[in-house]
């Protein structure tokens, strides 16, 4: 076993623990604390996105992040769906103007970040702390099991043209992590106040797990087109906030849209 193969593990663990602690504290306290955390995340991820997309347009990261910050705050306090959609449309039009390398992909990803942040706040408000904690844990264990499963087992690649390091073993191991997480939450009766069936929860956990993996692939696609390895180097062992939260925002977005229908 080569040491280099696991060289990023300590930094990934330490930074992951810090991020996890801050995240769960924000989820626990909710309200203005969670809004500040989500708004900050949306701001930083757009800064990274615009910096990758428009490296020669000096003001792009700043303006992109400011527009996104204003958007998530306005969406959170929008009184009607018409205002909601109008604010989102104006925001995406601004992002389209600021993106250079992959305009359409950049705008789509901007929409995913903003709506993922919006539904993160909505799920905390409508479903409670434990349900939101379950979603986050599903994504974390998907990433963790996928990391170890992919590196220990190896085997055929999943989508080599976009992410050469991802394997089928890692993908399936990630699903296993989502099932383990869901079983743990069920054993502790964290879902006792809901009427979801066991089968529904397990299937939905796999769906969220897969969506988080697709989010990771989509971000890898953007990075490959922009010819960068990481979105930034802010988080030791993980790269940037886009690298760390790409799966969570997609899983949250899908859960926000399908959760009220499926569950």
Q: CA-to-CA distance for 100 and 109, rounded, in angstroms?
A: 14
* Residue 137 placed within a domain: yes
* Residue 4 placed within a domain: no
Range of the domain at 29: 9-262
* Residue 242 placed within a domain: yes
- pLDDT tens for residues 28-42? 999 999 999 999 999
- pLDDT tens for residues 107-159? 999 999 999 999 999 999 988 899 999 999 999 999 989 988 888 887 788 77
* Residue 2 placed within a domain: no
* Residue 1 placed within a domain: no
The model scores a pTM over 0.75: yes
Number of domains making up the chain: 1
pLDDT at 6: 55
pLDDT at 189: 83
Q: Which stretches in the chain have pLDDT values below 50?
A: 1-3
Q: CA-to-CA distance for 111 and 233, rounded, in angstroms?
A: 23
* Residue 40 placed within a domain: yes
* Residue 107 placed within a domain: yes
* Residue 88 placed within a domain: yes
Bridge partners of 167? 157
Burial 132-161 (b: 16+ CB within 10 A, else e): bbbbbbbbbbbbbbbbbbbbeeeeebbbee
pLDDT at 209: 96
pLDDT at 1: 45
């Amino acid at each position: 076993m080569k040491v280099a193969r696991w060289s990023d593990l300590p930094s990934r663990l330490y930074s992951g623990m810090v991020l996890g602690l801050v995240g769960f504290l924000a989820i626990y306290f909710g309200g203005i604390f969670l809004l500040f955390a989500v708004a900050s995340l949306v701001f930083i991820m757009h800064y990274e996105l615009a910096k990758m997309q428009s490296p020669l347009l000096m003001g792009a990261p700043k303006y992109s992040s400011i527009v996104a910050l204003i958007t998530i705050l306005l969406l959170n306090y929008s009184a009607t769906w018409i205002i909601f959609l109008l604010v989102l449309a104006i925001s995406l039009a601004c992002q389209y103007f600021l993106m250079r390398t992959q305009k359409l992909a950049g705008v789509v990803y901007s929409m995913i970040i903003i709506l993922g942040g919006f539904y993160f706040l909505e799920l905390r408000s409508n479903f409670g702390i434990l349900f939101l904690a379950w979603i986050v844990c599903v994504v974390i264990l998907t990433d963790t099991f996928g990391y170890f499963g992919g590196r220990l087992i190896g085997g055929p690649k999943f989508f080599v043209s976009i992410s050469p390091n991802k394997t089928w073993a890692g993908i399936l191991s990630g699903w296993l992590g989502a099932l383990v997480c869901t079983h743990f939450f069920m054993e502790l009766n964290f879902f006792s106040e809901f009427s979801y069936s066991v089968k529904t929860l397990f299937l939905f956990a796999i769906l969220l797990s897969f969506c988080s993996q697709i989010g990771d692939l989509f971000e890898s696609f953007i990075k490959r087109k922009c010819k960068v390895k990481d979105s930034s180097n802010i988080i030791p062992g993980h790269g940037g906030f886009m690298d760390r939260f790409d799966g969570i925002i997609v899983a949250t977005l899908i859960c926000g849209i399908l959760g009220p229908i499926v569950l």
